[in-house]
Amino acid sequence: MQLLKILTPLVTASLLATAAPLVQAQNQGDDSVLEMQQAFRKGDRKRLEQLLPAVRGHVLEPWAAYWELKARLTEASPQEVQAFLQRYAGTYQEDRLRNDWLLLQGQRREWSQFAEHHPHYRMSDDREVRCYALLIEQLTGVASSGLADDVRRHWYGLREADDGCTQAASQLFAGKRFAALDVWRKARLAVEANRPRVARSAVEIVAPELLAQLKDLQDNPLKFLQARAASRGALRQELALLALIKIAATDAEAAASQLDNRWDILLTSEERNWAWGVIGKQAAQRLSPDAMAYFARVTRDSDLNDDLLGWKVRAALRAGQWKAVPKAVDAMGDEARKDSTWVYWKARALLAGKPTEPERAEARKLLEGIASTHGFYEQLALEELGQRITPPAAPTPLTPAEKAVARANPALQRGLYAIGLGLRTEGVREWNYATNLHSPGGMGDRELLAAADLACQREVWDRCINTSERTRSVTDVSQRFPMPFRSTVVERSQGIGLDPAYVYGLIRQESRFIMDARSGVGASGLMQVMPATARWTAKKIGLTSFTPEQITDRDTNITIGTAYLKLALDDFAGSMPMAAAAYNAGPGRPRSWRNGPLLDAAIWAENVPFHETRDYVKKVLANTTNYAAILTGLPQSLKSRLGTVGPRDMAALDVNKDLP
């Protein structure tokens, strides 16, 4: 025993001496990796080449090698690319580089190289790559019957100008597999989204002689319409429709006036319906009471796309015109009709008024098809069926062997290491690829639970939540709805009269519990507080010693964030949907969005004009209901948290009119 006491310090010192160079080398490798990321972002190819040897053997070597080759990919040889793919076979970086290489070969029209690599491309999530593959099918005469539909879907789904889908569309149009209307509809979508380059590329396919007129139209659509004689002609009609769409984007009434006074009788029924659909959508986004009157001018819902039909449903809900809802939903495409949003509202519409027994039966079947605790409309469907929100039973506990497999997964380890090093974007991509079904040995539910558990244990909460959310047959609420910093959140919330479940529901949506999260507009921390909001709130609650840099401190962030949320909740008379909207979009917008009829808050939330805020409000409230069920152990109601929303005398009742 005495000898052991003598030897132990010596052995320990020896081990530390041996480990020190390894730790130092790893730290130096970390520094080199970080420097390489910065060099990659700057396009500094020389520095990337110099640093790469220092990263050999590092856990993030695949990223370093990817950056170095990607930076010079346009000059790399096929042999260099193949060597990289072989060395890093099975990794995210292999598939990422293959994606980049496929795009490059498509742009170069190197179809043999493209065809060689495409079968090995696992992610298959790049629309342009898919369009190049479909283009090859068209060029080689082996196209399937669904090729045109595939190209159309991918082309319409791209908001920015691209080469692959545009070339595929051009070939299909030349081969008479695309009608002129297919191409003009792409131009319509581009003009509405204010994407002039995309519109130009579409018009160049179908009517290149009109490009000069298209520019005039985009520059001044009203002047363009007024300068054209009101005469018939397919090309003139399509340009007139593009001009009307452009006008409607900023002034729905002016577009409606032009359509009524001149162009209505000159357009085809399909063009006219599309024009009224766009005008109706723009009016609906401005919460105008005229929206349904515009949509009523549409004589055939099937002439509208899913986006326009969605806005028709929203306008009908806001106007209380329930009969219009099922018709619009039924006109949507297969995928949209299955969306829980439209399934729920169709069911509610069928139950409105005095439903027949067949209508009741159909509504019940629709609700049963989506009812669960997983989302906003899924929870509302449960309640329509007479049930409440309770946490699902916990899955069978993970075994030590299942956890060990997750810990041994090199891609998961790389992802966690990158995140820990501050390379969050790279780490998240690596992690998502590792847990994706398209990756080698794609994960089933048990593997996903084990991966989520690994992320939870490392307190990488966003990967814990997002990974667990992807399980299909089981639900682990402890992973999907974790409660980090519980004592601080609960004590602070209850101390100022806030429901802790509401705070957790908001944090989960704002930051996924990432303490150093920072948004593109400068919001920081767990509760994503803007600097100006932090200063205003600190002053409001008497936090006199507050300085801007404190907002990244966990406890200070929670203190400021919960205080601001409470002020917003008080300002909107306890309305959780409106306070959540104010937290996301600022209080001024919800004040204007509440004007109009008294609405079920679910209808109000669905009519929020901003997609981000609309989605945010629904997710925060669904999160809140789940957290309440977990925290209290009692069945919960989402409907009770929604209530109604309507106008009020803002000057008399707003208690915090100066909310920033």
**Residue for token pair 């009524």:** 260
Percent of the chain with pLDDT over 70: 92
Q: Is the pLDDT of residue 497 over 70?
A: yes
CB-based burial of residue 547 (10 Å sphere; 0-12 exposed, 13-18 middle, 19+ buried)? exposed
Q: What residue type is 613 in one-letter code?
A: T
Question: What is the pLDDT confidence band of residue 8, given thresholds at 50, 70 and 90?
Answer: very low
Point out the least confidently predicted range of 24-33, 148-157, 201-210, 442-451: 24-33
With CA atoms as reference, report the closest residue to 298 among 285, 283, 287, 286.
Answer: 283
Q: What is the DSSP letter of 529?
A: B
At residue 441, the pLDDT reads: 56
Question: What is the pLDDT confidence band of residue 17, given thresholds at 50, 70 and 90?
Answer: very low
C-beta of residue 80 within 8 angstroms of C-beta of residue 104: no
Question: What is the pLDDT confidence band of residue 551, given thresholds at 50, 70 and 90?
Answer: confident
Question: What is the pLDDT confidence band of residue 380, given thresholds at 50, 70 and 90?
Answer: very high
At residue 526, the pLDDT reads: 84
Classified as helix, coil or strand, 500 is helix
Q: Is the pLDDT of residue 5 over 60?
A: no
With CA atoms as reference, report the closest residue to 374 among 623, 611, 617.
Answer: 623
List of long-range contacts for 154-159, beta carbons under 8 Å, 24+ apart: 154/127, 154/128, 154/130, 155/127, 155/131, 155/186, 156/185, 156/186, 156/189, 157/127, 158/127, 158/128, 158/198, 159/193, 159/195, 159/198
Count CA within 13 A, CB hemisphere, residue 281. 23
At residue 437, the pLDDT reads: 63
Question: What is the pLDDT confidence band of residue 439, given thresholds at 50, 70 and 90?
Answer: low
C-beta of residue 429 within 8 angstroms of C-beta of residue 462: no
Question: What is the pLDDT confidence band of residue 659, given thresholds at 50, 70 and 90?
Answer: low
Classified as helix, coil or strand, 255 is helix
At residue 230, the pLDDT reads: 53
Q: Is the pLDDT of residue 111 over 50?
A: yes
At residue 312, the pLDDT reads: 98
At residue 19, the pLDDT reads: 39
The H or E element containing residue 84 is helix 78-87
Question: What is the pLDDT confidence band of residue 143, given thresholds at 50, 70 and 90?
Answer: confident
**Length of the chain, in residues:** 660
Percent of the chain with pLDDT over 90: 83
Q: Using CA of residue 572, residue 573, residue 575, residue 579, what is the dihedral sign?
A: positive
**How far are the Cα atoms of 297, 534, 571, 590, 654 from residue 658, in angstroms, in the given order?**
42, 14, 10, 14, 9
Q: Is the pLDDT of residue 229 over 90?
A: no
Q: Is the pLDDT of residue 13 over 80?
A: no
Point out the least confidently predicted range of 124-138, 237-251, 337-351, 424-438: 424-438
- Average pLDDT on 83-96 reads 96
The alpha carbon torsion through 608, 612, 617, 623 (nearest 10 deg) reads 160
Higher-confidence residue: 259 or 548?
A: 259
**Which residue spans within 93-235 are E strands per DSSP?**
none
d(C-alpha 241, C-alpha 184), whole Å: 10
At residue 31, the pLDDT reads: 96
Rounded to a whole number, what is the distance in angstroms from the first to the last CA of the chain?
Answer: 70
Q: What residue type is 334 in one-letter code?
A: D
d(C-alpha 469, C-alpha 505), whole Å: 15
Give CA 256 to chain center in angstroms: 32
At residue 141, the pLDDT reads: 85
Mean pLDDT of the chain: 91
- Average pLDDT on 209-223 reads 94
At residue 516, the pLDDT reads: 80
d(C-alpha 346, C-alpha 323), whole Å: 9
Higher-confidence residue: 53 or 144?
A: 53
Q: Using CA of residue 86, residue 92, residue 97, residue 102, what is the dihedral sign?
A: positive
Quick one: tokens of 16?
Answer: 């530390």
d(C-alpha 189, C-alpha 193), whole Å: 6
Q: Is the pLDDT of residue 657 over 90?
A: no
Phi and psi for 645 in degrees, rounded to 5?
-135, 135
d(C-alpha 498, C-alpha 575), whole Å: 12
Point out the least confidently predicted range of 120-134, 395-409, 549-563, 640-654: 640-654
C-beta of residue 68 within 8 angstroms of C-beta of residue 50: no
d(C-alpha 376, C-alpha 177), whole Å: 41
d(C-alpha 127, C-alpha 150), whole Å: 10
Count CA within 13 A, CB hemisphere, residue 622. 22
Give CA 363 to chain center in angstroms: 29
Q: What residue type is 96 in one-letter code?
A: R
**Residue for token pair 């060395």:** 87
C-beta of residue 286 within 8 angstroms of C-beta of residue 312: no
Q: Is the pLDDT of residue 655 over 90?
A: no
HEC secondary structure over 571-627: HCCCCHHHHHHHHHHCCHHHHHHCCCCCEEHHHHHHCCCCHHHHHHHHHHHHHHHHH
Q: Is the pLDDT of residue 434 over 70?
A: yes
- Average pLDDT on 78-103 reads 97
Which residues sit opposite 524 in a β-bridge?
518, 529
Provide CB contacts within 8 A for 468, sequence distance 6+. 448, 449, 452, 476, 479, 480
Point out the least confidently predicted range of 143-157, 288-302, 304-318: 143-157
d(C-alpha 419, C-alpha 413), whole Å: 10
At residue 397, the pLDDT reads: 97
Q: Is the pLDDT of residue 7 over 60?
A: no
pLDDT tens digits, 51-73: 999 999 999 999 999 999 999 99
Quick one: tokens of 119?
Answer: 């079968």
User: Cβ atoms within 10 A of the Cβ of 652, count?
Assistant: 6
Q: What residue type is 236 in one-letter code?
A: R
Question: What is the pLDDT confidence band of residue 16, given thresholds at 50, 70 and 90?
Answer: very low
- Catalytic residue numbers? 510
Helices (H), 111-163: 111-117, 127-140, 147-157
C-beta of residue 565 within 8 angstroms of C-beta of residue 506: yes
Q: Is the pLDDT of residue 20 over 80?
A: no
Q: Is the pLDDT of residue 561 over 50?
A: yes
At residue 18, the pLDDT reads: 38
With CA atoms as reference, report the closest residue to 429 among 412, 410, 447.
Answer: 412
d(C-alpha 616, C-alpha 125), whole Å: 25
